[in-house]
Amino acid sequence: MTLDRFKKVVWLDTATEPFATRSIARRMLCYDFDYSFINRVTGLSTDEIADLDDKNKKLFLSIEEMYCNLSLLVEAEEDPAYICSGEHPIEAFSTIIGITSEQWRLFYGDYLKNKR
């Protein structure tokens, strides 16, 4: 089963059309439904489902990379409080993309593990 923080990213990415066939398939993939089962529910071909699975994976990787880049930039700053006003940059960015700061830390930890 996909971790909650990854599910949240897919849910946010599909939020504008939550009942569209492709959105439902992408969300089903977060629960590790079999391609053939998703095919029977949605009518999408297994090739289309595989493309959606790849889209989810690319989304996860791009988010992890963005988190890493931001974290490295913040760590390099002498005074990160001056990067943006009102909040620590990582807290602000977490809010901007719709996740909690705890989910942020988990994404960043996963990214570091995957880079080894």
Q: What is the pLDDT of residue 1?
A: 43
pTM for the complete prediction? 0.76
Domain ranges for the chain, please list them.
Answer: 4-115
Q: What is the pLDDT of residue 31?
A: 94
**Selection from 47, 81, 67 nearest residue 6 by Cα:** 67
Tell me the pLDDT of the chain averaged across its residues.
Answer: 86
**Selection from 31, 18, 26, 94 nearest residue 57 by Cα:** 26
One-letter amino acid at 78 equals E
Give helix 46-76 / helix 35-42 axis angle, nearest 10°: 110
Where the chain has pLDDT below 70, the residues are: 1-2, 111, 114-116
CB 71 within 8 A of CB 90: yes
